[in-house]
Structure 1
Amino acid sequence: MAETITSMSAVPADSSFLFSVEDAFTNEREAILVPCEDDPGVEAWINDCPHEPQKLDRGMGAAMRDGEIICPKHGSMFDACEGGCSNGPAAGMSLLPVEVAVEDGDVVLVDDNYEFLQAGGLEDDDGPSSTSNIGF
């Protein structure tokens, strides 16, 4: 059964919509929806640069220019419709796809390898835990 991620109108025309999925091994991953000129008008990719562990969308939308997603670390540019990169350190690499479709104006997850978790990213807990009531 296809799960609704968001409406097509919620996908920014020049950036990305961040959402979270879980794979068959219960690994939680972030993914992004980006506008694409090809049908169905949107594509989804795992939110990682294949060159190095680096989020393309850090929670404020991925940088895009002329139909390409820009890696914020090294500037490699990935085709929003096909996921391939032809420049920079990621040249010859491709983003990992997440299959989506558009049904009645909604973007739905149709990839059997993933289960939709939520709109938005995963909560990162990079800081140390503390029971102190003092904030820094």
Structure 2
Amino acid sequence: MSGRYRLTSVDAVEEEGSWLFTVRDQHGNDEEFFLVPCDDPDRPAVEAWLNRCTHESQRLYREGVGAIVRDGGVVCPKHGSIFDTCTGYCDNGEAADTTLPDVEIAVDGGQVYLVDDDVTFLRAGPSRDDDDDDGPSSTSHLQF
């Protein structure tokens, strides 16, 4: 990808709580990323994280639900690990001491742009991979 691609607005991410999009990486793989608000004044207003828990590749953003965000963290629906919305770092649970992979974005004039030269924007929303639509196979007793 060269240049930048407008994804959505900061307002839309803040209103919805999260926003999903799909890219294609340099190896031809489709990957889902999601945007979440970041409340750190020293960072961009939103951040973009890979839609997979670092522990067992559980989707963190699910269609119809979005990403579960509590107290500045994205909660894994399978084991309850919590990833900081601003840094992607997890300090608890099964995914402790790991960080979610990111994709480079920029925020300009209230708009969010994909600016990562290693990926190509494909679509807003999920990948066309429908083999994981049954939701998490939860082993926790988390309730949201």
TM-score by length of 1: 0.87
User: RMSD value over aligned CA atoms?
Assistant: 1.5
Q: Provide the C-alpha distance between the structure 2 equivalents of 1:85 and 1:126, rounded to a whole number of angstroms.
A: 27
Range moving further from structure 2, 7-16 or 60-69: 7-16
Match of residue 4 from structure 1: 6
Show structure 1 runs of 4+ deviating over 2 A.
12-15, 123-127
Q: Secondary structure at the match of 1:33?
A: strand
Match of residue 56 from structure 1: 60
Cα 1:116/1:52, change in 2 over 3 Å: same
Structure 2: unaligned runs, 5 residues or longer: 133-144
Range moving further from structure 2, 61-70 or 6-15: 6-15
Q: Provide the C-alpha distance between the structure 2 equivalents of 1:126 and 1:14, rounded to a whole number of angstroms.
A: 25
Q: Provide the C-alpha distance between the structure 1 equivalents of 2:115 and 2:6, rounded to a whole number of angstroms.
A: 9
* Structure with max Cα Rg: 1
Q: Secondary structure at the match of 1:9?
A: helix
Q: Provide the C-alpha distance between the structure 1 equivalents of 2:44 and 2:130, rounded to a whole number of angstroms.
A: 35
Match of residue 125 from structure 2: 120
Cα offset, 1:32, TM superposition: 0.3
Q: Provide the C-alpha distance between the structure 2 equivalents of 1:124 and 1:72, rounded to a whole number of angstroms.
A: 19
Q: Provide the C-alpha distance between the structure 2 equivalents of 1:77 and 1:126, rounded to a whole number of angstroms.
A: 25
Aligned residues: 127
Cα 1:118/1:58, change in 2 over 3 Å: same
**Which residues in structure 2 correspond to 1:99-118 (within 5 Å)?**
99-118=104-123
Identity percentage of aligned residues: 52
TM-score by length of 2: 0.83
| 1:70 matched to 2:75 | yes
